[in-house]
Structure 1
Amino acid sequence: MSVSSMTGFARREGGDETLTWTWEAKSVNGRGLEVRCRVPAGSEALEAKVRAAVPKACARGNVTVSLNMDRGDRGLRLQVNRHVLDQVIHLTRELREEIDAAPPRLDGLLAIRGVLETAEETEEEAIRKAREARLEADLTALLEDLVESRRLEGGRLKETAMAHLDHIAGLTAQARDCAAAQPEALRERLRRQVSDLLEAQAGLPEDRLAQEAALIASKADVREELDRLSAHDAAARELLEEGGAIGRRLDFLCQEFNREANTLCSKAQDVELTRIGLALKNAVEQLREQVQNIE
């Protein structure tokens, strides 16, 4: 399976002898899946189909699907509103008794607002069902286009995420090579700290001295954090190759990356290791920004 983004857009246009329509779908980041649907009045059945179809296409994201319809002049006919026309004629006759004026012309009567109006022609059931079938087919194609749009964006996100993982792996290797992380450097630092401890606490019991030495050693050794960073790096790469709905798991791994980078900074005993730790935190944050776009 491929990696998909939660960001995408698709558009489909269609029509028949009476109507033209435009389907649009767009999706943005979201914690889960949220579907919004906007359809013209009278198309509630299509809204139900949208809400049933989107979860089959998308696992996460805020997805908005809208349908616009335009009838234009097709399927419309002109008709006279007899009720309004009768009122106009009646008033005309009353006024002619008070005002000497020529009788109204037909074009003048039809120009009065409300006299002439449009009405939709009655559609046959077969035509209506055929249109619904075409609208549903266009909806299916629309969601396929949306999925493809999210997949293309996901491919770019995967490349970017892999680049950030390469950077994190490189910084982890630098930390391993750093003299402060090497066993001999740790032993030398431990000897100095124990010597300082003995001078400061003369007559300290041997068991207490052993406890203090072990505590100093554990606080100085960052190899465990580096091993976990490497393990998280391998796990993240496996997820990216696996594809599918991996966004939540990658986000969790980013939290673990950040935890180890923070611990590395707190244990660092020299400027160089601290610099690497800070660079790691920055690289993890950049990775997390990309991961939050992944489905």
Structure 2
Amino acid sequence: MAVYSMTGYGSATAAAAANPENPGNSGAGVTVELRSVNSRFLDLAFRLPDELRGLEPALREVVGAAFRRGKIELRLAGQRDADSGWPHPAPEQLMRLAQLEATVQTWLPKAPALSVHEVLNWCRSAAPAERLDEVALEATRQAVEALKEARAREGDRLVKVLMERIGRLRELAEQAKPLVPAVVQRQQQRFLERWNEALQAANAGQQAVSEDAQRDRALNEAAAFAIRIDVAEELARLTAHLDEIERLLKAGGELGKRLDFLIQELHREANTLGSKSAALELTGISVEMKVAVEQMREQVQNLE
């Protein structure tokens, strides 16, 4: 199943079929443009000409059935060929106009004669308006398909970027794993040294505490400190989150919200890694992880 971005553009034009009874309108058509950007929910906006405003519920149904998330704007405009704007007057219309003109000039001798332009305008207004509802719906369906294809192409690009970031995070996790035991051991040794120094200072001039008791207490405190700075659990959870993100990207479908949650968890683990780090090397790895996670967050926000 494909992964869709919420960013894309699609357009389509549909022309009305030729009408033998009204050949002047055979060039009429409709152009539909769809623009989409990211949004938490499905947000539809319509820009329609006055004569097609009544079509908005049907257009909303067509677009809403195709998409689940994104801020989508639909623009619809009518089109006419150069010759289609002029009507083809019927003989009955011209005869009626001639009779009306003669009647008016009988009563108003100074009234000017009708011009060709005035005759054509009258015929145009008297002609029945052509309904373009079906044409508009057909153009909308075609534009929806074009927008789907555009969002799918953008989705493929985002998946490649996310996979690259996943690979980078895995590399950083692998770099951190061998550092953890050495860091813990080094910190334990430092803790024991400082603990012994503190005990020697505290026992100066007083009854000395047994050596075994000092050592047991020091080892217990060092073990507790090692647990606090051990980041192996965070690295394991981070790897598990990366596995789940990769699985979802390969499965496809509507996964934007689920990935957004997993990105938050990735950021939490990277942040904890930095806060618990007791070595400069792990701190640097944590910073690089946060940068990669933030780059993933920016891309995930565009996925449907």
TM-score, length-normalised on structure 2? 0.77
Moved more, 196-205 or 52-61: 196-205
Q: Alpha-carbon deviations, 1:146-185, whole Å to 9, x = none?
A: 111101110111111101100111111011122xx12x54
The aligned counterpart of 1:19 is 28
Query: How far is 1:9 from its partner?
Result: 0.7
* Gap change, CA 1:211 and 1:54, over 3 Å in 2: farther
Structure 1 residue 50: Cα displacement? 1.6
Query: Which of the residues 283, 292, 298 maps onto 1:283?
Result: 292
Pairwise CA distance, 1:114: 8.1
Unaligned runs of 5+ in 2: 17-25, 204-208
Decide whether the 8 Å contact of 1:75 with 1:121 is kept in 2: no
- The amino acid across from 1:278 in the alignment is V
* 8 A Cα contact 2:30 2:135, kept in partner: no
Instruction: Tell whether the 8 Å contact from 1:34 to 1:61 is kept in structure 2 after alignment.
Output: yes
Q: Percent identity?
A: 36
- Is the 1:13–1:20 Cα contact (8 Å) retained in structure 2? yes
Tell me how far 1:227 sits from its aligned partner. Answer: 0.6
Per the alignment, do residues 214 and 121 of structure 1 end up closer, same or farther by CA in structure 2, a change over 3 Å counting? Answer: farther
Q: Name which of 228, 231, 235 aligns with 1:222.
A: 231
C-alpha displacement of 1:42: 2.4
| Residues 18-37 of structure 1 aligned to structure 2 (within 5 Å) | 18-37=27-46
Looking at structure 2, the residues matched to 266 and 176 of structure 1 have their Cα atoms a distance apart, in angstroms, of 16
Post-superposition offset of 1:68: 0.1
Structure 2 match to 1:167: 168
* TM-score, structure 1 normalization: 0.79
Query: What amino acid does structure 2 have at the position aligned with 1:74?
Result: S
- Asked if 1:272 corresponds to 2:264, the answer is no
Structure 1 residue 200, shift from structure 2 partner: 2.1
Partner of 2:177: helix, strand, or coil?
Answer: helix
- Contact 1:10 1:143 survives alignment (8 Å): yes
Q: 1:185 to 1:44 in 2, by over 3 A?
A: closer
Residues 188 and 286 (structure 1 numbering): CA distance in 2 closer, same or farther, change over 3 Å? same
Q: Which sits farther off after the overlay, 148-157 or 196-205? A: 196-205
2:252 aligned with 1:243: yes
Q: How many residues align?
A: 271
Q: SS of 1:36's equivalent?
A: strand
Alpha-carbon displacement from aligned partner over 1:187-234 (angstroms, at most 9, x marks no partner): 342132133134325479889767643441122211111111101110
**Are 1:33 and 1:59, in contact at CA under 8 Å, matched by a contact in 2?**
yes
- Alignment match of 1:120 (pick from 125, 131, 155): 125
Q: 2:62 maps to what in 1?
A: 53
Q: Which sections of structure 1, spanning at least 5 residues, go unmatched?
A: 94-103
Say which is worse superposed, 23-32 or 203-212, in terms of deviation.
Answer: 203-212
Secondary structure of 1:226's counterpart equals helix
Q: Work out whether residues 76 and 121 of structure 1, in 8 Å CA contact, stay in contact via their aligned partners in 2.
A: no
Which region of structure 1 is more displaced relative to structure 2, 151-160 or 69-78?
69-78
Query: For 2:254 and 2:47, how far apart are their aligned partners in 1?
Result: 26
Contact preservation (8 Å) 1:75, 1:120: no
The match for 2:206 is: none
The corresponding residue for 1:9 is: 9
| Distance in 1, Cα, partners of 2:52 & 2:112 | 43
Quick check: 2:187–2:278 contact (8 Å CA) kept in 1? no
Q: Closer, same or farther in 2 for the Cα pair 1:116/1:57, shift >3 Å?
A: closer
* 1:28-55 residue CA offsets vs partner (Å, 9 max, x unmatched): 1111110011111121332111211222
Letter in 2 for 1:52: E
